[in-house]
Amino acid sequence: MTVGFALFLPRNIRFGRGTAGDAVHTITALGRRPLLIHGANADRARWLIQALDEAGRKPWGIGCPREPDIELIEQGVILGREVGADIVIGLGGGSVIDMAKAVAGLIPATGEVIDYLEIVGGGQALDAEPLPFVALPTTAGTGTEATRNAVIDVPSAQRKVSLRDPRLLPAAAIVDPALTDYAPANVTLASGLDAITQVIEPYISCQANRFTDAICRDAIPVGLQALVRLMDKEDAAARDDMAWVSLSGGLALANAKLGAVHGLAGPLGGVTDLPHGVIAGALLPPVLRANRESVDGRTAARLHEVEHWISAALGCGAEEAIDRLAVWSRAAGLPGLGSSGLDPSSLPAIAGTAAGSSSMKGNPVVLPAARLVQAMEEAW
């Protein structure tokens, strides 16, 4: 029997080298007073600022120098309201795009940021239509250009949670792989492992469907092989592949959920300063191992497929693929969880917090708290 499903997608997706050159036409068709959110280095956004200025749409700009927290979101909302912004642009990595997405949703809203956050806040629905939002990712990782949630750090609660609303999907996602060219190796590795995790977890998710299956079945082997190539040398074709895998992950997680890797990553991200991609990459092998021990039937068959795809990319046997992925990631420069100075005695509490996360609901099996602790220890 075919399982029914509903799809949540950006209104317009443009993918391919050179598509960023047409971004101005898309932006000017959506608004007249743009607010541009960029990374810590505004010079990397200079090309878009100049192009918008020439088109008579000079943007107001604000930087996102870290993973977005409530303070940064509030700064963006205040600026957007002061200048009367009617469109928000996110040009940067996943953190930048998450911030832009949240700001676009909250500028018209009447409440405080915390009122709309899940778990630690009021969890209220946005009470006004979000501003149009255009995403231009410069890393291949989170796929947030295709999702309906923005991840926000809440330091007072020591965890990351989501602002979630179907109307937060971008009006346009412009995915130009050229914007990711020559990204630093550590960024490429961590974001790439996150992208791969975000096509593996929806594929084995208990909420997988035909749409997400088709995307993930193509993207998993493509991403594994492309990331291995990029860790050897700069490769434009591999950058193209990773940008596609990242977009695929966003489309998949928005429509089938994730799993225990991301269930743990939320609370871990709230108590460490490790980038999200590092946490996801470190946790992927031990969580795959934990799931393999517990599942059967359809999910076991899918995990077996994943093992074969890993083995093909790393040149090893399928039976050792998960262990080899962990070894390869560390050899390529991925830090472990222990590099953050995290106290091992805090792991049981983190596992308990993770059990209530939205992502954990997509895992193919309920993993006991003790097994989640073991997975984090194996990622140390």
- Dihedral (Cα; 313, 224, 198, 12), 10-degree rounding: -140
Mean pLDDT by 10 residues, the chain (380 residues): 76 96 95 96 94 96 94 96 98 96 97 90 92 97 94 88 93 98 97 98 95 97 98 97 98 94 93 94 98 92 97 96 98 96 94 91 95 97
Just give the CATH number of 184-378. Answer: 1.20.1090.10
pLDDT of residue 1: 45
Return the pLDDT at 2: 56
13-178: CATH topology: Rossmann fold (3.40.50)
Whole-number pLDDT of residue 157: 85
User: Which residues, listed in sequence order, are joined to residue 173 by a DSSP beta bridge?
Assistant: 13, 135
CA distance 30 to 10: 14
Identical fold between 13-178 and 184-378: no
Write down the pLDDT at residue 159.
Answer: 83
Closest CA to 289 of 189, 371, 227: 371
141-194 tens-digit pLDDT: 999 999 999 999 998 888 888 899 999 999 999 999 999 999 999 999 999 999
Q: What is the pLDDT of residues 63-120, one digit of tens each?
A: 999 999 999 999 999 999 999 999 999 999 999 999 999 999 999 999 999 999 988 8
DSSP single-letter state for residue 233: S
Annotated domain spans of the chain: 13-178, 184-378
